[in-house]
Structure formats: structure tokens, C-alpha cells
Amino acid sequence: MHANRRTFLAGASIGAGLSALPVASTATSPMAEPDFGPMHGQALLSRNENPYGPAPSAIRAVNESAQMGCYYADRGQRRLRDMIAERHNVSPQMVVIGSGSTEILCAIALAWGRQGSVLGAELFWDTTLLYGERQGVQSVRVPLATDMNLDLDAMEAAVSDETSLIQICNPNNPTGVLIPAADLRAFASKVKGKATLLVDEAYNELTDNPDDNTMIDLVRAGEDVIVCRTFSKIYGMAGMRVGYAITSEENAQRIRGHLMSFGGNISGVAAAIACYNDHGFLDRSRAMVLEGREMIMDAVAKAGLTALPTQTNFVYVKVPDADAVRAAMAERGISIRGAYGKWTQYSRVSTGMLEDVSRYASALPEIIDGMRA
């Protein structure tokens, strides 16, 4: 697989396409640090961003729409909603657009949390659930399996009469591990009628088989399932804040009632419309992520370490001390994540600009050798 990826990326057509990808530049002056993105000289590999976006088509749309910034964006948001509905063969009323998937996930936590408890894994991207907890939402956390996968059997056993929502991130963040589609569909069948199943698919487009791995077919089949997606990852629009959910019309209306904004922002909506079906950009963007991921995995092996299998734009590496590795990388101008709670031996590193990933790949064996000395 590694050799095939390298061969693929070496192709002339892909190489030419990759050279056309924009590179974000935010510096305001030679002396000032940029307001957005990495600091001068920093390799930013800590936030699961895709620095090869937004797509050129999205940037053109932003430039063209900027002069319309005095107007609300609701008509454009409806167009984007219709485009998403058409692709996934659902009605437009089954699509909810939000300020990133974060706003939608927060709204779901509040809406369902007022009816019962929210069940989730002990380790997943729970920022939105934590928001709900601060508003009084009760949650139940289920430990991971010994292999760091979500323990679906344990989660099923934890469902009670008080459970209103089951939240799963697939692939999971920060582990990067993908639940096989058949296993997740079996789980959905077992909890059917007991609680709403929310599947956060922020990284779906980066998996080996996005169409097979999504649970949107369960929504089409009338199941009580919510699927959330975002333009922040493969589309490289994290700072433009556009996300969406696909679910039943009833659930969609319930979610809309808990959103904190309306209409969206013109720049983000225009960019999303322009690049949603920009398959050339998406293919090139995905190729860059895969190459960066391969570089990280090669560095992990060279350092004598292991990492969890990942189908995302980040890798969860097992190290002697995650916070110590983060600090050592920071001394070299490389930003990665430290420990997540009690998982002090796992270090998350994102794919980013390939030259930045190369800096990490060169530093990792040296840092680990120093820790072992």
C-alpha cells in the first residue's frame, strides 16, 4: 500500500495538480506573527487541519462573495442544503447546516440532554458533550476496549431507560480508529428504539471506503440516526465554519430549535457551495493527507514505536511520555498534542504541510532515542 501511494503521488498529473493547491499565508508584515495559522517557523501538526485547502474554487467564491457581506446568507445556505440533500438522496428538510459541525453537535447535546442522559465512549472528541454538561446535561462514559477501539458491547450494555442519545465518533478522535461499518450497523440495530444514535463522521471522506463507512443509509431507511459531517477536514475549511447533519425531518427540526445562529456566513457558505463537488481538489487533498500519514507511520517504525491503525488525517502514536514528546517537539518548533487525560502514553500528531511532517519525521527518532538514553 505504501509503495502504491508513492507511485500514485509520483504521477505527473497528480504532481501538477498538487502544485496548484494553495498554501495558506496569513502574515500581516515581515515582523508580525500571523493572526491565523502557524506562527513563523512553526510546524503546526496539532489541530487536524488540512493546510492544502480551501480549494481554489472555494477561494474564488469567497473573493466574489465578499462584496455581498452586508447581506444575510440564508438563501445560499438553502442552496447548499439542497446540494447535500441531492447527493445523499434525502429531502432538504432532513439536512441541517450549522457553524461547523460543532454548533450542530452542541445543539444535539442540549436538545437530547434535556430528555435524558447522553452515552459516549470514555475517549472521543467530546468537546460538544462537555459543553452540554456545563449546561446541566448528564452523561455516561464507557471505557474503551483493551485495543483502544470503542467497546460497542459495553456501550450497548450501558444503555438504560434514562439514555436519550448515544454519541459515536467514527473514525474516532483522537485514536483515528475506524469502527467497521458492519459492526456499527449491528450496534445500531441493537439499540434501535432505545435511544437516538449520533454518528460524528468528520473524517469519513478520508477513510478507505467513505460510501461504505457512512451511516447515512440508516437515515434514509428511517432509523433514528443522526450523521454529522464538516467542511473542516478534507475540504480544508476549518476556519470558515461550515458543517451539517443529515437525519429525519423530525430530528432536524429539533436540532434547528437549539442552534445559536442562523443563516451562516456568506464566505463560508459560498466556499462550501463552490467546492462541495470539486472532486479534483478532493482527490488531490486526500492524496496529500495519505502521503503525510505514510511519512508519520514510517517515522514511527524508524523510532521503534507503534501507532494505532488510522483512517484520518492524524496518527495516535504510543510513546514513553506524550507530554514529554510534545515539549521536546515544541523546542524544535513542531506543535503536536500532548496527553489526553489518563492516556499519557499516546501522542496525537496531525498531517499537515508535507515539509512540516518531514520535520516531525526527522525529529521523532532522535527524541525517542534521547528519552531512552
Alpha helices, H only, the chain = 2-10, 12-19, 56-65, 74-88, 100-113, 127-134, 152-158, 181-191, 210-213, 216-220, 249-256, 266-275, 279-302, 322-331, 354-372
Cell of 18: 498538487
Q: Which of 242, 275, 308 is the last residue of a domain?
A: 275
DSSP letter for 172, please: -
pLDDT value of residue 169: 98
Does 364 lie in the same domain as 293? yes
Count: domains in the chain: 2
Does 212 lie in the same domain as 124? yes
Each residue of 16-41: b (16+ CB within 10 Å) or e? Answer: ebbeebeebeeeeeeeeeeeebbeee
308: domain CATH number is 3.90.1150.10
Q: How far apart are CA 47 and CA 264, in angstroms?
A: 23
Does 313 lie in the same domain as 206? no
Q: Which of 247, 275, 303 is the last residue of a domain?
A: 275
Q: Which of 235, 256, 275 is the last residue of a domain?
A: 275
**Looking at the predicted structure, is the pLDDT value of residue 37 above 80?**
yes
Does 139 lie in the same domain as 35? no
201: domain CATH number is 3.40.640.10
Domain extent for 229 = 57-275
Residue 287 confidence class, pLDDT cut points 50, 70, 90: very high
The mean per-residue pLDDT over the stretch 280-299 comes to 97
pLDDT value of residue 30: 61
Does 234 lie in the same domain as 94? yes
Q: How far apart are CA 199 and CA 36, in angstroms?
A: 30
Residue 3 confidence class, pLDDT cut points 50, 70, 90: very low
Does 226 lie in the same domain as 86? yes
Does 86 lie in the same domain as 172? yes
Cell of 207: 477513510
Q: How far apart are CA 299 and CA 306, in angstroms?
A: 10
Q: pTM score, two decimals?
A: 0.91
Does 339 lie in the same domain as 204? no
Q: How far apart are CA 192 and CA 221, in angstroms?
A: 12
Q: For 143-161, what is each residue's pLDDT tens digit?
A: 999 999 999 999 999 999 9
Mean of the per-residue pLDDT values of the chain: 92
